[in-house]
Amino acid sequence: MKENQQVQNPKGLLISLCAVMMMSVMNGTMFNIAVPDIATSYRLMPSEVSWVMTGYIMVYAIGALTYGKLADYYPYRTLITFGLVIFCSGSLFGFFAQNYAMVLLARVIQAVGGAMIPALVFLAPIRYFPNERGKVLGIVSSVMAFASGIGPIAGGFIAGFLDWRYLFLTSALIIITLPFLRKNLPKEEARKGYIDYIGAVLIAGMISTLLLGITLGHSWLFIFTGTFFGLNVWRMKSIEEPFIPAHLFKSSRYRATIITSFLGVVCLFGMMFMLPIMFRDAYGLNTMMIGLVLFPGALSAALMGQKGGKLVDTKGNIFVLYLALTLLGTGFLLLSTFVGASPYVVSAVIIIAYMSFPLVQASSADILANILHKSETGVGMGVFNLMNFVSGALSGALIGKALDVYKPNHPFNWFGINGNTAVYSNIFLAFALIIAIGYLQFRLNFYKKEETYTRKKPASL
């Protein structure tokens, strides 16, 4: 398969990629709002209805890695056609679902197809926009962040004025992007190669038991996670072409970038998960007001992504990652200080943390693209996407547990505000410390080895 294929209409391809990413991310966040309505419709307990999200995330995470691996061998047009058709089929099936089992099956089918989207959308800039990679990654990441912010607003509007089943029908509209993607993606031929399906099954077992253990709180499942991990290590060492090459993790730079991105996204997803809960419980805001308070942050992420992507191309990916971590740590410190103040003040402070989302994603992806060999870009970026989804499940489970059992009246932050927002202040302070750890470990691994991947100013898309 030839690399860096000539794209006849770069702007058209970029618009198509952004559209499919927007609709994919919104599909995930919209259903967060609908979970209580689904529980009411089928008279479900919280533990039962949680499978609407748990099952989706589990399949989505495994699928993102699998599609990344397949992208090393199969044409993007083939994979994206398969993924979108399956996703649309699952959406239509969910719209006509007659019981909860059918709803769950629909979500799983959606995840099987939808997992293709982040895998290929983050790989496309590397393959088709080599001279503007940072800029395009920044735009894609900003769309992802923006969609995460407006998804709950759109979900609340659709579920409130129509019915939660129409969320499935809305998601099915993603199929309209397929003709444009197929038109703008260059034709490619499949490349021969061996795919370790046994290794893929072992990895799926490891990830699924890990996510189930995290989201359901069943610690005994981690025994199976450890068993699958051991079998994976054995498999990597025993065959020539394992599903994930072991030498990927021997690179200190690859490990450092993956860890830093993971820690950053854990905190960002944790913030996104926690803020609606905080504004509802501590401030008494309704769903629409929560969406409006969070909207400036989502908009700032969309705007910053485009600027940050250009910075990656001109100043270098490492510079942008340091900038992103600095903004993120500063934003969490300010949130720890001002949580409990007017919601409008908090909304303004959220912007600082939110705008770092696309910077973390774009700079990390660009660093990895320079580290990885072209023949392993797909699986290497697949691991990157996998860790992002694991981080979302991990942060949600840990924060949910902390909010259940931890009820302080005084924050650790000396400048924080006392009262029922103290727990949120302490969690934001913990986020700031995690970001500091990520910054330091990245710095240690890149110290005296740093390379600024500055490219010549490219022509506009």
CATH number of 7-190: 1.20.1250.20
Q: How confident is the model at residue 90 (pLDDT cuts 50, 70, 90)?
A: very high
Q: Which residue has the higher pLDDT, 135 or 263?
A: 263
Distance (Å, whole) CA 155 – CA 166: 9
CATH fold for the domain made of 250-454? Growth Hormone; Chain: A; (1.20.1250)
Res. 184: pLDDT tops 80: yes
Contact predicate 353/297, CB 8 Å: yes
So what's the pLDDT on residue 3?
Answer: 44
So what's the pLDDT on residue 428?
Answer: 92
The rounded Cα 403 to chain-centroid distance in angstroms is: 23
Q: Which residue has the higher pLDDT, 132 or 338?
A: 338
Res. 460: pLDDT tops 70: no
| Domain definitions of the chain by residue range | 7-190, 196-242, 250-454
- 377-386: per-residue pLDDT in tens? 777 888 888 8
So what's the pLDDT on residue 451?
Answer: 47
Decide whether 7-190 matches 250-454 in CATH topology.
yes
pTM: 0.78
Query: b or e along 76-105 (b: 16 or more beta carbons within 10 Å of the residue's beta carbon)?
Result: bbebbbbbbebbbbbbbbbbebeebeebbb
What φ, ψ does residue 284 adopt, rounded to 5°? Answer: 70, 25
Residue 176 in tokens:
């309209």
- 91-105: per-residue pLDDT in tens? 999 999 889 999 999
Q: Which residue has the higher pLDDT, 192 or 115?
A: 115
So what's the pLDDT on residue 330?
Answer: 94
Res. 282: pLDDT tops 70: yes
